[in-house]
Chains A and B, each alone.
Chain A
């Protein structure tokens, strides 16, 4: 299975918005609405931030939002805060398998 494609890095200043893309194929991202996003701080387990493309789990700030168009999903972080600096991974169901993106390191300048 090929990994989903994410930019290796993204950055923004506090208060700004940043969008991270996640490109797959019609066999994963484009074929199902089971795209999710995870935040991972160094040495920690990943944390679920978005599921089913656009839904936020309880406790995740509404500054985090998700969307999808065709084979590309996106995570937008609005009103950047210092604690948002982390690695972000997308994931998609791919027909009895799951696939992750390569990860994007988000830097808050």
Chain B
């Protein structure tokens, strides 16, 4: 296990198209997070899973965005009808999720989305 992986690393799409990104967390990490990072900004929280349950969603996550983690392992983030403003780096992170304590988040390399 070499850490959190994300696929693809880069995606260029035309406005209006749908895109899907995948995140594979570290094995046995039951918490999984998605963030978006635009140029000059820090990561912005999008959503969080505990196992397969999506427990929190940011108000930033419009209805064009949907995330799943069907078996509590890998996760997908889909953006429908992409807009130029969706261009960003999409980061995934995972953590062990031991109860009652904060756990370090391990970040993936990110997927850079460019919407033309």
Do A and B truly interact?
no
What residues of chain B have their CB less than 8 Å away from a CB belonging to chain A? none
What residues of chain A have their CB less than 8 Å away from a CB belonging to chain B? none
